[in-house]
Structure 1
Amino acid sequence: LLHYFWFRLGYVVLLWLCVTHLRCARAETKTVVQKDAEFDVTYNDTVTSDNQTIYAFNHTVSRNKTEGVRVTVDVLSEGAESSPILFVVRQKQAVLSFQVPLILRGLYQRKYPYAHVGRTLCQPPTRSLTETQYFFVDVSTLSSLGTHYQLRISRVDSFTLHTDKKFSFTASPSQPQYFKYVFPDGVDTVIVKVNSEMTFPCSVMSIQDIQCPVYDLDNNVAFIGMYQTMTKTAAITVQRKDFPSNSFYVVVVVKTEDEACGGPLRFYPLRPDELIDAGNRSKTLDVVVSPAISSDVYVMGMLFCLGIFLSFYLLTFLVACVENKRMHRRREGLLNPADMSPAETGIPATHYNGTLLDNASTLSSEAITDSIASDANYGYMERSLESVAGRSRQESLSSIEEDDYDTLADIDSDKNIVRTKKYLCVSDLARKDKRVLSKKYQIYFWNIATIGVFYALPVIQLVITYQTVVNVTGNQDICYYNFLCAHPLGNLSAFNNILSNLGYVMLGLLFLLIVLQRDVIHSRALDRNDLNALECGIPKHFGLFYAMGTALMMEGLLSACYHVCPNYTNFQFDTSFMYMIAGLCVLKLYQKRHPDINASAYTAYACLAAVIFFSVLGVVFGKGNMVFWIVFSVLHILATMLLSTQLYYMGRWRLDSGILRRIVYVIYTDCIRQCSGPMYIDRMVLLVMGNIVNWSLAAYGLLKTPNDFASYLLAIAICNLLLYFAFYIIMKLRSGERIQCMAMVCILFTAVVWGFALFFFFQGLSTWQKTPAESREHNRDCIVLSFFDDHDIWHFLSSIAMFGSFLVSVCLVVDEDKAGDHSVMLIEFK
């Protein structure tokens, strides 16, 4: 056995030596031919596995002038895909190798062969004034059959780009192009713009440092530098500090497929190894490098932003000074009592249909005194329907009799009876102690402050991570900027979009200061037992106002976070507090006339949390998902019906097992048995209109299934807010109340600003509903100070408009032009 083992081992060794000898002998017989070659000459030759050709080139490189060298290769033989030719370009500091036909892979590893290949050689830097450099092109193959090819080496005279000078060229997947740009003196930042009249084929524009090799193929262009896909437009802002050599390459690559740019998906190959004909994918492009803005423009932009919003502080201060002066003159008795409003004279205003009327100015002081004395004997009173219908508002106060008022003692204690009266007053729905209600509404402020802190901290951490990923990977398809007007500062890619959100924060803080000043004045009036503060007017609660101001500030902070890296995954950061603001405004409008039955802070924020939850689900799963839209539409309609029932019955209903029986009973008694009309006409009109609007929005969403679900949900909130706000104003006018001049000015000013703001909003400079390349087709240049774009103007105007809307709520909802009797002394003056 031992002898047999050694015999077999010796046999294997001998066989291996024979094979090695044969290989060496064959290698020795392989012919290697070296040729001195020249530029701009086309070489036609054939290569086999038995021969190898080396082309030797030399050229003079100047330090003051950079010329590109381009290698162009064509394979003319059929069936070369099975045995491609290998071309190796050996330079002083780099080696470039590629095969022809060039096989590029697309989505799902589909293969595209290219028989015509053109590559540009990288240019290593030279220290001497002039230098002769040599490079060699080796051509070889493993095919035993001859493969015919053409080789041409040419100079690229327009290899260096010049500032503000457009250069046109053509590129394809197998013939990428790149050019060199050197920063001129005094220019620290430039914008590289690449444009094309052709939407497809999809392309990639990359910015790379001056080094070898240059990554200029579809499968490696993302390995280094900054890059972004493009259809018609691409733009990248480049800073000198990122390139130690004060120069960089602009690389343009045409992709093998168009899916990355939103194009159609090509057919799938029948076999895994099947080669697909790519067709003609040449694309003509233009490149231009322009200087970016200087540091002076940054300073001007920041001063402009601060100046706009500080002017509101100045204007508010001047108005406060005038108001304080007027109050001081009133205290000194310098004003004529006839010119003073009911709030200033301490005269109760008229209540009608649950609202306040101001007709006291037509009365004599004796009539007013008699009226107050007469009504003080009755306590809580209400006009009957007969007295309203049969007596004109111009009748004398002496015609009012005791029978015209309901003096049931149950009204003082039983809220079911109070809330179901046909004509309600503010005091009927504000029967709780003012201190209890004030604490109840302060919870809104503290809750939203807590929510804001816990919401903002992870958001800030996340967007910092996004920005870091963009800076490290160079993938500028992650964020949807307006790249034609994206001015970097530090690590932030679009500082101007972040700066323009400053208005939300500053104006939100200003609104908090205004509310705080009114709160302090009201508290001081209560402390000195002021008659107006104690007994007259709608009860004042400022908790919801504080919550609204805080929400506006948080909207600015989260909008700035979103614009650090805007994309579909963090769009809810920009809209979450918009839902909060819309909800709080509706609650404030409802709270002024229904303070006892308004939703608690915990219930309100829980509902808003559900809205945000559906917003996230819609962004992630809503695109084209019919099941989601059906579920959401059904829930939307059910929520509308439940809220309508809550509002119509003033909260005096129960959702339990007997709800269906009670619904059938109401339909039978009110609609079938006697066909009586609704008891609360005004509320019914509002709720019918609200249901029509919401059902229409639900049907639109179900039929159209819009891609931007967050904006669709925000549109629902805004439509309901505007509807209820219009109803509030109409009811004030129907009840005989008047709108003060200041409130009217605020309404008109806010409406005009909202109109201009929406105009700039719908310009659509970018959209994450499309691919990054398609989004860049909407990019446009800056329009203000070469620093702010249309979306920045939207930030400015929308923050001003929201601040104006809040002022409208203060001037209109607080009803400072009325002095009603909080203890419900219902008097109708002449």
Structure 2
Amino acid sequence: KITLNTLICFLLISTCGSGAVGETKNVVQKDAEFDVTYNDTVTSENQTIYAFNHTVSRNKTEGVRVRVDVSPQNLESTILFVVRQKQAVLSFQVPLILRGLYQRKYPYNHVGRTLCQPPTRAASETQYFFVDVSTLSAQGTNYQLRVSRVESFTLQTDKKFTFTASPSQPQYFKYVFPDGVDTVIVKVNSDMNFPCSVMSIQDIQCPVYDLDNNVAFLGMYQTMTKKGAITVQRKDFPRNSFYVVVVVKTEDEACGGPLHFYPLRPDELIDAGNRTKVLDVVVSPAINSEVYVMGMLFCLGIFLSFYLLTLLVACCLSSLPPTERSLDSVGRSRHESLSSVEEDDYDTLEDINSDKNIVRTKKFLCVSDLARKDKRVLSKKYQIYFWNIATIAVFYALPVIQLVITYQTVVNVTGNQDICYYNFLCAHPLGALSAFNNILSNLGYVMLGLLFLLIVLKRDIVHNRALVRNDLNALECGIPKHFGLFYAMGTALMMEGLLSACYHVCPNYTNFQFDTSFMYMIAGLCMLKLYQKRHPDINASAYTAYACLAAVIFFSVLGVVFGKGNMAFWIVFSVIHILATLLLSTQLYYMGRWRLNAGILRRMLHIIYTDCIRQCSGPMYIDRMVLLVMGNIVNWSLAAYGLIERPNDFASYLLAIAICNLLLYFAFYIIMKLRSGERIKCLPLVCILFTAVVWGFALYFFFQGLSTWQKTPAESREHNRDCILLFFFDDHDIWHFLSSIAMFGSFLVLLTMDDDLDTVQRDKIYVF
């Protein structure tokens, strides 16, 4: 019953296991039994073969485990153990030498290996296997051999099984898909952070790769400390079953642990210490197709309801009677309302700059003073924002999509689940995608961004019709209507959804900027829109604005690559941050009527002397000064925090700077609006309150931190949690839902917050 391959292997070991070719060796074969410990001695002159047999049933799977112990005093003598089975050969030496980083060597004198079980077609058959023991050492080496059955070799559904493992004593178990279950999730847990471990899912075949140096050769695998989870689909395993393999690594660096000292000699052996780890494994059925359908319908239903709500509000507003002109504007002609003729009429005159200086440096400015340019020129200027961001979106998104598809392909082909930082306890695959739920939840950004574009388009059409019929309210009253920035904001929101979905195809630190790039865009565009409302003539051009945003993204990339713990980078960035804040403050305070040249220091000293020392007069523009002082305090504080703490997540730190400045400016705008005697109508007030509440809940779910690419993949999995909504969505998915709604609400606030001024003459609307 010994196959030809087994016989050849036996002959090779018998003839070549001795010290010289042709040297005779005394071979002893013993009939051995399970659960009996054999104490024996082996030398180069003798070889022992232990013969075992056991009955294998097709309906019952039993594991067989071989354990070998060698005395620590005999570590210099290596013993070779070869296990010959019907369709496989397993060999290992004791002491087992496992290599770590930089080829460090760790000897283990206690080795335990589970034999793979070849499939059998018969209902029951007796199988034989042999354990050959040999050495090249001339002196006798003592060893202990024990072969036993693993009664709990087959894992049961939803039943936790506890076991121990070490680098030289890996464990693996078999799981068979029950009828009606196509997808399961395998969870391995431990109360011990270290030693670092690897869990692997492998097909039923021999050999089983269950050592630190080969566990990555086959199947899916991931490193773990306390938690590990892999979703397994029946379609990937033709035998409807698989092995769950758990290997303890020889070193902990892969899991974020400390690095051992470097050996003084290349051949030096390092004592690994006690690296035994207690773990438990449980295999549970994953969600079925009905849950997928419910999740998709829920996602669509939420955001389609906003379309319906918008339609109802539009119908209600259209049924109201038209607004009457205010008494202040009755009888006023268009020429009387303008503070001067349009700028195009005198741009070529020599006194143009002096005229701007006179107008823009007045102590109290009105919107009419900064809305002097031709409306058609400004409309074209601000439409460039939309066309530029549309162009940027195409050229940015295409390589991103290509890259993440490549990432996902690498994950699927190699099985290395350390490449992507998912919430593995709530990662539902669909097709080639590993976490479809994290991608689906970004649908809200796209749908609500499109809805905002439709709302802006409707307002644009209504405004243009009013201009065509020479409506005085449209011509002379309210904040000048320019929709280019609104179109750009809606497009940016849609792109945020697309790029966030791309990031969540394979989230990791190398592509995190995909998820944040358009967040910078949105924050920047919102600030520009707030400024444009009261300063339409002097707002930044699209080219300048996008160039500045490109610089922000450039620093974001540099921070991800070089910022981690690099003091030189943080010093340079903090200096640039503070200088940029000062330059922008000067630009805003003087309404652009200043020049950056060689004489700027002389002019600064002159102003300090005349205004602060000689006359000790206060600032001419108090409101602007208050805003800019607060802005500088906030930005200098953020710069100091970055320089002191040097956070690892530079992209989020940069985004926090943008959001803090946006919130500060928005709060200033609301306060100044109320101080100026203006009011907030019902619709924008409801939007403000609703958006504030949604942002609060959204941030709560954002800070749950289900994964973090700032740590190792194994440490990131410690933050993984189960799904909390419909068994399909996790906390981060809810952040996607709520943040998309909150951004949409924020955009509506910017769109409607000055509707109360639509009948107020522009020369009575203050600039702040």
TM-score range for the pair, normalised by the shorter chain length: over 0.9
Q: What is the aligned-residue identity percentage?
A: 86
User: What is the Cα deviation at residue 76 of structure 1?
Assistant: 2.3
CA distance in 1, matches of 2:52, 2:91: 16
Q: 1:26 and 1:570, CA in 2 relative to 1: closer, same or farther beyond 3 A?
A: closer
- Code of the aligned partner of 1:130: S
Paired residues for 1:42-57 under 5 Å: 42-57=37-52
Deviations 1:721-742 (A, max 9, x none): 0000011111111111111111
Which residue in the other structure is 1:156 paired with? 150
Where 2:191 maps in the other structure, the secondary structure is coil
CA distance in 2, matches of 1:651, 1:24: 90
Asked if residue 90 in structure 1 is aligned to residue 30 in structure 2, the reply is no
Asked if residue 346 in structure 1 is aligned to residue 287 in structure 2, the reply is no
Asked if residue 196 in structure 1 is aligned to residue 190 in structure 2, the reply is yes
CA distance in 1, matches of 2:765, 2:440: 53
- Code of the aligned partner of 2:421: Y
User: What is the Cα deviation at residue 28 of structure 1?
Assistant: 5.2
Which residue in the other structure is 2:267 paired with? 273
Measured on the aligned residues, the alpha-carbon RMSD in Å equals 1.9
User: What is the Cα deviation at residue 27 of structure 1?
Assistant: 3.9
Deviations 1:32-58 (A, max 9, x none): 111111111111111111111111111
CA distance in 2, matches of 1:789, 1:122: 38
Alignment check: 8 A CA contact 1:172 1:254 kept: yes
CA distance in 2, matches of 1:685, 1:761: 32
- Code of the aligned partner of 2:759: A
Of residues 660, 666, 669, the one that matches 1:728 is 669
Which residue in the other structure is 2:546 paired with? 605
Q: 1:661 and 1:162, CA in 2 relative to 1: closer, same or farther beyond 3 A?
A: same
Alignment check: 8 A CA contact 1:261 1:774 kept: yes
Which residue in the other structure is 2:117 paired with? 123
Which residue in the other structure is 1:770 paired with? 711
Q: 1:738 and 1:169, CA in 2 relative to 1: closer, same or farther beyond 3 A?
A: same
Which residue in the other structure is 1:354 paired with? none
Of residues 149, 172, 184, the one that matches 2:178 is 184
Alignment check: 8 A CA contact 1:782 1:790 kept: yes
User: What is the Cα deviation at residue 346 of structure 1?
Assistant: 2.6
Which residue in the other structure is 1:534 paired with? 475
- Code of the aligned partner of 1:39: F
CA distance in 1, matches of 2:428, 2:165: 29
Which residue in the other structure is 1:654 paired with? 595
Alignment check: 8 A CA contact 1:426 1:538 kept: yes
Greater gyration radius: 1
Of residues 412, 415, 430, the one that matches 1:489 is 430
Asked if residue 72 in structure 1 is aligned to residue 67 in structure 2, the reply is yes
Paired residues for 1:409-808 under 5 Å: 414-808=355-749
Which residue in the other structure is 1:820 paired with? 760
Deviations 1:454-482 (A, max 9, x none): 00000000000000000000000110000
User: What is the Cα deviation at residue 377 of structure 1?
Assistant: 6.5
- Code of the aligned partner of 1:820: V
Paired residues for 1:352-363 under 5 Å: none
Where 2:174 maps in the other structure, the secondary structure is strand
CA distance in 2, matches of 1:531, 1:26: 109
Alignment check: 8 A CA contact 1:77 1:149 kept: no
- Code of the aligned partner of 2:491: T
CA distance in 1, matches of 2:416, 2:590: 57
- Code of the aligned partner of 1:345: E
Alignment check: 8 A CA contact 2:303 2:447 kept: yes
- Code of the aligned partner of 2:39: N
Of residues 314, 333, 339, the one that matches 1:380 is 339
CA distance in 2, matches of 1:743, 1:490: 43
Alignment check: 8 A CA contact 1:190 1:290 kept: yes
TM-score by length of 1: 0.87
User: What is the Cα deviation at residue 535 of structure 1?
Assistant: 2.2
CA distance in 2, matches of 1:430, 1:793: 42
Deviations 1:579-608 (A, max 9, x none): 000000000000011111110000000000
Q: 1:95 and 1:719, CA in 2 relative to 1: closer, same or farther beyond 3 A?
A: same
Alignment check: 8 A CA contact 2:338 2:368 kept: no
Alignment check: 8 A CA contact 1:623 1:706 kept: yes
Asked if residue 29 in structure 1 is aligned to residue 50 in structure 2, the reply is no
CA distance in 2, matches of 1:730, 1:24: 92
Q: 1:541 and 1:377, CA in 2 relative to 1: closer, same or farther beyond 3 A?
A: closer
Deviations 1:398-440 (A, max 9, x none): xxxxxxxxxxx98998111100111101010111000000000
Deviations 1:229-281 (A, max 9, x none): 11000000000000000000000000111111111111221111100011111
Alignment check: 8 A CA contact 1:346 1:536 kept: no
- Code of the aligned partner of 2:601: L
- Code of the aligned partner of 2:440: L
Which residue in the other structure is 1:13 paired with? none
Asked if residue 40 in structure 1 is aligned to residue 35 in structure 2, the reply is yes
CA distance in 2, matches of 1:572, 1:32: 66
Where 1:34 maps in the other structure, the secondary structure is strand
Q: 1:77 and 1:287, CA in 2 relative to 1: closer, same or farther beyond 3 A?
A: closer
- Code of the aligned partner of 1:346: R
Alignment check: 8 A CA contact 2:508 2:709 kept: yes
Of residues 199, 202, 205, the one that matches 2:199 is 205
Q: 1:826 and 1:441, CA in 2 relative to 1: closer, same or farther beyond 3 A?
A: closer
Asked if residue 113 in structure 1 is aligned to residue 120 in structure 2, the reply is no
CA distance in 1, matches of 2:336, 2:664: 40
CA distance in 1, matches of 2:464, 2:659: 33
Alignment check: 8 A CA contact 2:19 2:136 kept: no
Q: 1:77 and 1:30, CA in 2 relative to 1: closer, same or farther beyond 3 A?
A: farther
- Code of the aligned partner of 1:47: V
Q: 1:817 and 1:25, CA in 2 relative to 1: closer, same or farther beyond 3 A?
A: closer
Which residue in the other structure is 1:7 paired with? none
Q: 1:412 and 1:708, CA in 2 relative to 1: closer, same or farther beyond 3 A?
A: closer
User: What is the Cα deviation at residue 818 of structure 1?
Assistant: 3.6
User: What is the Cα deviation at residue 24 of structure 1?
Assistant: 11
In structure 1, stretches of 5+ residues that fail to align are 1-19, 331-343, 350-359, 361-367, 382-408
Which residue in the other structure is 1:237 paired with? 231
TM-score by length of 2: 0.94
In structure 2, stretches of 5+ residues that fail to align are 1-14, 341-349
CA distance in 2, matches of 1:377, 1:88: 103
Which residue in the other structure is 1:353 paired with? none
Alignment check: 8 A CA contact 1:442 1:543 kept: yes
Q: 1:273 and 1:314, CA in 2 relative to 1: closer, same or farther beyond 3 A?
A: same
User: What is the Cα deviation at residue 25 of structure 1?
Assistant: 9.5
Alignment check: 8 A CA contact 2:42 2:141 kept: yes
CA distance in 2, matches of 1:140, 1:75: 13
Where 1:29 maps in the other structure, the secondary structure is coil
CA distance in 1, matches of 2:116, 2:78: 24
User: What is the Cα deviation at residue 820 of structure 1?
Assistant: 2.7
Q: 1:559 and 1:24, CA in 2 relative to 1: closer, same or farther beyond 3 A?
A: closer
CA distance in 2, matches of 1:124, 1:480: 36
Q: 1:629 and 1:173, CA in 2 relative to 1: closer, same or farther beyond 3 A?
A: same
